[in-house]
Each structure stands twice: as structure tokens, then as C-alpha cells.
């Protein structure tokens, strides 16, 4: 119910904004470096049923006196969706952002210029950018030592939109890594697939203490994950 209301409000804002801008020519796209008003949208990891996507307005917008700006979202396959709308209220302060609920589909979204203008209806160029939406994943690591024997156990899970929770990531590869000092580069120890419980484990031997971590790569629908670092 909440997301339906949020979307209806968002569409209403879009309609009002477009009617108010009927006399303003469409702003041409530009790179973030040359645009007179730019937007930045981070990649998004879905980790709960209602995930907000926050788009940040560039300082060049306020620097150029822009008072209204809008960018549309277009999924690479499914087409147009909600837009990022900035108005007089939140555009007055640098660093403010617009929000949109998690759009209907994971994948890549293109953020395209709609309009940007000042109080006198002078139009400004806008940038075009993109961002990726994927389900989040998590990776925890435990390390135990008995003399020179060191046992590493990693638990890998991913967010399931259908289940509304994190589920064990079965049969997924986990890379165990180590390094000898805090500033040293990481080296590969062993690659292990997770079992039916999402657990991967390995045994190694070292008389000296080492830094350990685990890494699990991502897919087209899930982000990769890195565990915390443990010294044992």
C-alpha cells in the first residue's frame, strides 16, 4: 500500500512539473563535467522490501541559479519509470537529494534529462548518467586457530525479493585470502564452493599470525560481497 501511494504521488509531481514547464525548451544532455546542472545516482543494493534510491544534485545547479530540475529513469529493458524531481524547496541547499522507491526491476537504469531552469525560465544543460540495481549479498567469516592449524568458515547469503529475507547462497564460489601485514597486498589462499547451508570452509597452516578475509563474486542480479578482516 505504501509503495503504491508513493508512486501515485511521484507521478502527480511529474505531471505538475511538466505542465509548469511547457514554455521551457528541453535541455540537451551533457557529460557531468560540462553540464550546467548535474545529478549523481549511486548503484543500489536491494536489502529490504522498500529501498530508497537517493539522487544527489550537483553544486553546479545552485551555482547557476537553477530552481527546478528533473531527470527521468529508464530501465534498459522495461522502459520509463519514476523520475528524480528537485523543486525550489530542496534545491536551495547544496547536497540535497530526491528520493524514489525501489523501481520494479533489477538491472541498469539510464538517468535522462527532462528539464532544468531558473526562476526566469532560462533552461540549462543536464548530464546523462546511469546506475545499477541488484539484490544485495552478505558474507561473514570466522577464523579459529589451534597451534599452526587455522580453520576458516564463511557464510554467504543473498537477498531474496520473493522471500523478503536473506537466503543461503548455495553452490556459490568463495575466495579465501590472506596477507602477512596490514599494508601488504592480499593473496589467494583457496577457492571453495558453498554447501547447501551457504557455508564454505577450508583449513590452512601457518605458525605466524595472518590477516584473513573472504570474497564472493557477484552476478547480473546480485552484488558481490567481502567479509570483514580477521587477524589470527
Thinking of the domain 137-231, which architecture would CATH place it in?
Sandwich (2.60)
Mean pLDDT of 167-175: 97
What is the pTM (predicted TM-score) of this model? 0.73
Class of the CATH domain delimited by 2-134: mainly beta
Q: Is 213's pLDDT higher than 90?
A: yes
**pLDDT band, very low/low/confident/very high, at 10 (cuts 50, 70, 90):** very low
Same fold, 2-134 and 137-231: yes
Calpha distance 40→147 (Å, rounded) = 51
The beta strand positions in 38-103, using DSSP E, are: 39-40, 44-46, 52-57, 66-75, 79-86, 97-101
pLDDT digits (tens, 9 = 90+) for 109-141: 999 999 999 989 999 999 999 999 999 999 999
The answer on pLDDT for 223 being more than 80 is yes
Per domain, the residue ranges of the chain are 2-134, 137-231
Per-residue pLDDT reduced to its tens digit, 63-75? 899 989 999 988 8
Amino acid at each position: 500500500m505504501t509503495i503504491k501511494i508513493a508512486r501515485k504521488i511521484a507521478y502527480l509531481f511529474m505531471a505538475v512539473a511538466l505542465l509548469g514547464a511547457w514554455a521551457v525548451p528541453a535541455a540537451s544532455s551533457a557529460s557531468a563535467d560540462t553540464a550546467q546542472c548535474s545529478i549523481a545516482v549511486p548503484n543500489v543494493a536491494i536489502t529490504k522490501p522498500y529501498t530508497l534510491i537517493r539522487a544527489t544534485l550537483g553544486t553546479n545547479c545552485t551555482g547557476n541559479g537553477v530552481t527546478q530540475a528533473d531527470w527521468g529513469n529508464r530501465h534498459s529493458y522495461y522502459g520509463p519509470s519514476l523520475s528524480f524531481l528537485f523543486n525550489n524547496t530542496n534545491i536551495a541547499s547544496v547536497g540535497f537529494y530526491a528520493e524514489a522507491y525501489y523501481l520494479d526491476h533489477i538491472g541498469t537504469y539510464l538517468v535522462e534529462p527532462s528539464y532544468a531552469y531558473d526562476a526566469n525560465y532560462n533552461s540549462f544543460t543536464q548530464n546523462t548518467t546511469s546506475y545499477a540495481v541488484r539484490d544485495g549479498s552478505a558474507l561473514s567469516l570466522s577464523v579459529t586457530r589451534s597451534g599452526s592449524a587455522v580453520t576458516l568458515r564463511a557464510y554467504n547469503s543473498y537477498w531474496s525479493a520473493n522471500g523478503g529475507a536473506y537466503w543461503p547462497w548455495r553452490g556459490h564460489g568463495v575466495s579465501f585470502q590472506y596477507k602477512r601485514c596490514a599494508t601488504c597486498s592480499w593473496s589467494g589462499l583457496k577457492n571453495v564452493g558453498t554447501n547447501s547451508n551457504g557455508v564454505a570452509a577450508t583449513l590452512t597452516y601457518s605458525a605466524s599470525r595472518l590477516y584473513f578475509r573472504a570474497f564472493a563474486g557477484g552476478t547480473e542480479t546480485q552484488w558481490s560481497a567481502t567479509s570483514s578482516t580477521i587477524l589470527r
